[in-house]
Structure 1
Amino acid sequence: MAPLLRPRQSAGRDKLIKDLVQFKTQTYHDPAATRGTVSHGLRTIAWNPLGTLIATGAADRTLRVWNPERPNVRYSTELKGHSAGIEKVAFNPIKDAELCSVSSDGVVKFWDVRTKAVINEIKGLGDTFTLAWCPDGESLVVGNKADNLFVLSPTQSTPIASHQQSVQTNQFVFCHSGKKIFLTTGEGRVKILSYPDFKPIIYTSYDPGLPFTLNGHTSSCISIELQPTARFLATGGSDSIIALWDTTEWICQRTLIDMTGPVRSISFSFDGSYIVGGSDEGAGLDIAHVETGEIVHSLKTAGPCPIVAWHPNRYWVAYSDLGSLKIFGGVGIDAERK
């Protein structure tokens, strides 16, 4: 189990705005990539629980684990084994060196990033593209493009269970207790289900037999993220909107409408005070204050940034830009000299 982190104090809005102006962007060059090529394009980024490692997966099958303090590729670790593009990676939430990767080759692999060893793999899951760990780190859910969800164990070579969905299912996220899972759908809705049995938890007041869903998007709901404080659930749609849902009343409290293109990813800062969304259209990233919706900083980028991920305990934002990993914050500025 990863050691517990001492709580990090949140920065006030005004102080953070001043700090953000001083922050720099560090690029992590992968020799397998040619600048701006679609073939390498990063599909997924994930921090480990301590924020000491960051993993990236690309369309050209490149799976790499970086040291954020050392941007030179010689300090990174390449993990080889998938036969198709890497669609999603995520570290075990309680083990800072255990990484799971899913690929369109239908294989889910579990890695010990210290030794590069595959410690478990599960085959034959179809065109898999998304995953989410249960907070206890003992199970996870993987989804394929046929809308089948598999419950997996990092220590078993076959699925524990599978749950076929009746509608297009895009992404999902657990509540912090691991007892509920939230699923985004092509209908623009979010389903709230129990885990691990995937049964509706809430029903509508006007029809006790009809499961309650969050309906906040005019087209497909693509991305989803739970605030670290669990006050808000954020959803992103192909309508370019990020909706913030109060998790007590399940009412949409606020919408962020400054995105360009479909919202492919969403990430909250470690303290839940700030939010950023990623899209594969337009250029630049806007960091917004969750409570007010105010944009506190706009980050210029060379191209679209579909994947974003805040550091687990610092005000650093990792993102993809022209096929490369970049980190905005007080990280790695002098590391190339070492």
Structure 2
Amino acid sequence: MASYFDEIQKYFQHHNRTKELNGNHTAKVHSVGWSCDGRLLASGSFDKTVSVFLLERDRMSREATYRGHTDSVDQLCWHPFHPELFVTASGDKTIRIWDARANKTVATVNTKGENINICWSPDGQTIAVGNKEDLVTFVDARSHRVKTEEQFKFEVNEISWNNENDLFFLTNGHGCINVLR
């Protein structure tokens, strides 16, 4: 039996265009990401919602729509080894940790600005979130409390840890990558 992705691949080969996966968003989709086990796909939107899809043997189906943010969901990231947990960054000056099993928010953490990027550390213990004012906030993923904040004097565009969890990378508006220990 062909998988959903085999069918998509055949579609691309014959039609040479994109295939639309409708998440029932009513506005621009800003972010998309796969769970660590590859079974769930989430999309975050300007419409303040997140849609989660389940990849089954022969198809992909929408599982749930998550509501709670009061501004756009600009980025999301799945937990590195718990396939049911993901975190969202929003313009409403919060991040939310969600549990896909329970279809609800586990925690809401207030931040100082409109959040535009987010990543989970490889060990799952820390969430980093960057805002429009180039402030990166590090949140303890278990206690849901802010550990530290780092204000940068340059435009921070994207953030990520290395796999060893000992270096933190920031891309900037000057065409460089900055590395923190």
- In structure 2, distance between residues paired with 1:87 and 1:148: 16
Paired residue for 1:62, among 32, 35, 49?
A: 49
Deviation by residue 1:30-58 (Cα, 9 ceiling, x = unmatched): 3343xxxxxx1110001000110000001
| Structure possessing the higher relative contact order (Cα contacts under 8 Å, 6 or more residues apart) | 1
1:239 aligns with none
- Secondary structure (helix, strand or coil) at the match of 2:145 reads coil
Residue 21 of structure 2 is aligned to residue 28 of structure 1: yes
TM-score, normalised to structure 2, is 0.85
Q: 4+ runs of 1 displaced by more than 6 Å?
A: none
Cα distance in 2 for partners of 1:32, 1:63 equals 8
**Residue 161, structure 1, aligned to residue 148, structure 2:** yes
Max Rg structure: 1
Change (3 A) 1:29 1:167: same
Match of 1:191 among 175, 178, 181: 178
Q: What is the count of residue pairs matched by the alignment? A: 167
Hey, what's the Cα distance between the residues in 2 that align with 1:88 and 1:31? 17
1:159-238 → structure 2 map (5 Å cutoff): 159-194=146-181
Structure with higher strand content? 2
Distance in 2 (CA, whole Å) between partners of 1:79 and 1:59 is 13
Among 101, 112, 135, the residue aligned to 2:99: 112
Alignment-mate amino acid for residue 132 of structure 1: C
Amino acid at match of 1:134: S
Indicate if the aligned counterparts of 1:131 and 1:140 stay in contact, CA closer than 8 A: yes
AA partner of residue 77 (structure 2): A
Q: Is there any run of 5+ residues in structure 1 with no aligned partner, and where?
A: 1-19, 34-39, 195-338
Matched AA of 1:131 = I
Identity over aligned residues, as a percent? Answer: 22
Which blocks of at least 5 consecutive residues in structure 2 are unaligned? 1-7, 13-17
| TM-score of the aligned structures, taking structure 1 as reference length | 0.47
User: Deviation string for 1:110-131 (max 9, x for gaps)?
Assistant: 0111111211110133111101
User: Which of 126, 129, 132 is the aligned partner of 2:116?
Assistant: 129
**2:78 is equivalent to residue 85 of structure 1:** no
